[in-house]
Amino acid sequence: MTNTTDIAAVTALDVPRSVAVVPRRSRPLRRRRLGPRRRIPFSSVIGPLVVLAVWSIASATGVLDWRTLPAPWTVVTEGASLWRNGTLAPDIVISLQRAALGFLAGASSGIVLALISGLSRVGEALIDSTVQLKRAIPSLGMIPLFILWLGIGEGFKVAIIAIGVFVPIYLNLSSALTGLDNRYVELAEVLRLSRWQFLRKVVFPGALPGLFVGLRLGVVGSWLSLVVLEQINATSGLGYMMFQATNYGQTDIICVGLAIYGIFGLISDRLVRLAERRVLSWRRTLNS
Amino acid sequence: MATDTEQLIGTTAVRVRGLHRQYGDRTILTGLDLDIARGEFVALLGRSGSGKTTLLRTLAALDHGVKGSGEVDVPEQISVVFQDARLLPWNRVLDNVILGYEGPNPRERGRAALTEVGIAAREAAWPSELSGGEAQRAALARSLVWEPELLLLDEPFGALDALTRTRMHGLLRELCAQHQPAVLLITHDVDEAITLADRVLVLDEGRIGLDLSVGVPHPRSYRDGRLAEYREHLFAALGITEDAAVRTTREN
């Protein structure tokens, strides 16, 4: 664009006498706006609020049978009474503990193995193709084998969650490490960075966006595995509570469980995003 | 690659003899000889694919695994400015400028370099917030921090608009007059070469085809009538006619 201006300027200097005066358009040209418009304030809560409103109206008017889905206020009061009589808190604690331990174990092993395979050719040869193979087997499919190995205690649950978390974190981080732009490698060579400086100042910061993609997928994965595990192989936890409620047709308790899963999923995702925004403040995307 | 004693005493910054480089079956450089004196500003022209960048990468010791032979003597301290500013997007400007520098007072030194290139106020900006010209100024500042004996520039202004490019030419001349590095500027722009350089080389068929000293005092304008003769010479060496050349430089 600036080029065009410059050529125009040069031409004007060269032939000052022969510049034609083009009459200006009196009405400004209007352009159809194709980019997204300005965001509606609080846009992220509008959709859920509408759903909640429709649900409430359907329950209040009796269109929605309470045995199919209880009214929103029933879910809230049921949750409150479960909390008060002390049956909810232990289930929440044990579920949170499983998810957190599994996530920590999966994330740390994912990061360590990705570093080994991303930074050394030997590590790559040993680890990478193995993990790529493992990727073909869904981690939940390994439940039977792990029950035989570890029994159906907590260790087995944490292990299954950890594997589900490990895979996306490993894949995203190792590909971010190996996919570093070669131009930056060249720059580091010109500036004579030591191997450690190169890792610390170029490779690691460059791979952080990939790590965060992996962490976010890992968080989602940990909840998913937790839900499945608690509903089929548990004697405590939110999933067990919901599974029991099925036997007695208690849709309100099932909904309480779902709501808590949802809240935890939302909070953990927000936490990772918050960390991401802090750490990757140099990134300016279309959303900012 | 090491600086030998003879060179330390002498006035040569770069000495290349019989440089041969090939990629696979394609021979890029065939017995190239090149001398650059200390503090001399040399521009290197050549058609695309003529091996300009291969030569620069050889001098910068960036050509890992490229087959070839020849004698290359370069100074210890070399800085490279690439066509893209190549700033790390996750470092603020000042941290980019002093990246890898471990001498005394790196931050003061970095600030001084940023002041020299005229963007001292931008030290805390992210690279993504810089204009093309500012980014390239930051890249120049990064190369200055090291007080290079040899400055290699690989089409550093190729991606800039014409107005910014002219400003950068003035800045580069000033910086070179101040710091006196030997300079090898790779460019495809004949006007840029004759405005800036003490000596213009044309790379042809793998060696230096034309070696032209430009005897016009600085500062020069590319409109300077005395440069016309040099321009014609270079166009002829590059195998382009004046009309086509004027068109291409304007379009660029």
What is the model's pLDDT at position B175? 93
Of A108-122, A167-181, A196-210, B224-238, minimum mean pLDDT range:
B224-238
The C-alpha torsion from A167 through A168 and A172 to A175, rounded to 10°, is 30
Of A160, A159, A163, A172, the closest CA to residue A114 belongs to A172
Task: Give the integer Cα–Cα distance in Å for A226 and A95.
Answer: 8
Lowest average pLDDT, out of A7-21, A80-94, B50-64, goes to A7-21
C-alpha R_g of chain A: 28
Using CA atoms, how far apart are residues A234 and A241, in angstroms rounded to an integer? 10
Q: Do B80 and A190 touch (CB under 8 A)?
A: yes
User: Which pLDDT does position A135 carry in this prediction?
Assistant: 84
Show residues of chain A in contact with B80, CB under 8 Å. Answer: 190
Query: CA torsion A179→A184→A189→A194, rounded to 10°?
Result: -70
Q: Do A192 and B100 lie within an 8 Å CB cutoff?
A: yes
A134 φ, ψ (degrees, to nearest 5): -55, -35
Write the pLDDT tens digit of every residue in A180-199: 999 999 999 999 999 999 99
Nearest one of A77, A112, A102 to A155, comparing CA atoms: A102
List residues in chain A touching B: CB distance below 8 A: 1-3, 5-7, 10, 183-184, 186-193, 197, 201-202, 205-206, 208, 280, 282-284
Residue A99: exposure state from Cβ atoms within 10 A (0-12, 13-18, ≥19): buried
Distance CA A110, CA A129 (A): 14
**pLDDT score of A186:** 93
Name the more confident of A21 and A138: A138
CA distances from A281 to A208, A216, B38, B236 (A): 11, 17, 43, 52
Q: Which pLDDT value is given to residue B106? A: 93
Question: pLDDT value at position A38?
Answer: 84
**Chain B residue at shortest CA distance from A7:** B250
CB proximity B138 to A under 8 Å: no
B-chain CB neighbours of A280 within 8 Å are 90
Measured in angstroms, the CA of A130 and the nearest CA of chain B are apart by 30
A29-33, A76-80, A130-134, B144-148: the lowest-pLDDT one: A29-33
Which pLDDT score is estimated for A15?
Answer: 47
Which residues are within 8 A (CB) of A17 and not within 5 positions of it... i.e. 6 or more apart?
none
Residue ranges with strand state E in chain B? 12-23, 26-37, 41-45, 67-73, 78-81, 150-154, 182-186, 199-204, 207-213
Helix spans in A62-153 (H)? 72-84, 88-119, 121-123, 129-135, 143-150
pLDDT at A24: 63
For residue A167, what are the contacts with CB-CB under 8 A and spacing of at least 6? A110, A131, A134, A135, A139, A221
Among A239, A261, A221, A268, smallest CA distance to A105 is for A221
Residues in chain A within 8 Å Cβ distance of B82? 183, 186-187
Q: How many CB pairs under 8 A join A and B?
A: 65
| Stretch (H or E) spanning B132 | helix B132-144
List, in order, residues 6 or more apart from A277 with CB less than 8 Å away.
Answer: none
Residue B31 CA to residue B70 CA, distance in Å, equals: 7
Q: What is the DSSP string of B33-100?
A: EEEEETT-EEEEE--TTSSHHHHHHHHTT--TT-EEEEEEE--S-EEEE-SS----TTS-HHHHHTTT
Whether the predicted pLDDT of A45 surpasses 80: yes
What tokens appear for B106 in the block?
């790196």
Cα separation of A187 and B139, whole Å? 11
Q: Walk along chain B (252 residues) in steps of 10 and give the mean pLDDT of each run.
A: 46 92 87 93 89 91 87 93 94 95 92 94 93 94 94 92 91 92 93 92 89 85 83 84 57 48
Checking if the pLDDT of A6 tops 60, the result is: no
Provide the token pair at B168.
């950068």
Q: Tokens representing B120? A: 């001292």
Tokens 């600085």, located at residue: B218
**Distances from the Cα of A258 to the Cα of A251, A255, A261, angstroms:** 10, 5, 5
- On average, the pLDDT of chain A sits at 86
Query: How many Cβ atoms are within 10 Å of A115's Cβ, its own excluded?
Result: 19
ipTM of this complex prediction, to 2 decimal places:
0.86
Q: Is B191 helix (H, G, I), strand (E, B) or coil?
A: helix
* A98 closest CA partner among A155, A150, A167, A51: A155
Q: Is the peptide bond before B148 cis (omega within 30 degrees of 0)?
A: no
B37 forms beta bridges with: B12
The closest of B221, B164, B187 to B56, measured between CA atoms, is B187
Would you state the pLDDT for residue A139?
85
- Best mutation target, A14, A180, A187, A278, to test chain B (most B CBs within 10 A): A187
Distance of residue B223 Cα from the nearest chain A Cα, in angstroms: 12
- Residue A12 binned pLDDT confidence (cut-offs 50, 70, 90): very low
What's the number of CA atoms in the CB half-sphere (13 Å) around residue B129?
A: 15
Per-residue model confidence (pLDDT) at position B218: 79
* A127-161: pLDDT as tens digits: 998 998 888 888 888 889 999 999 888 999 999 99
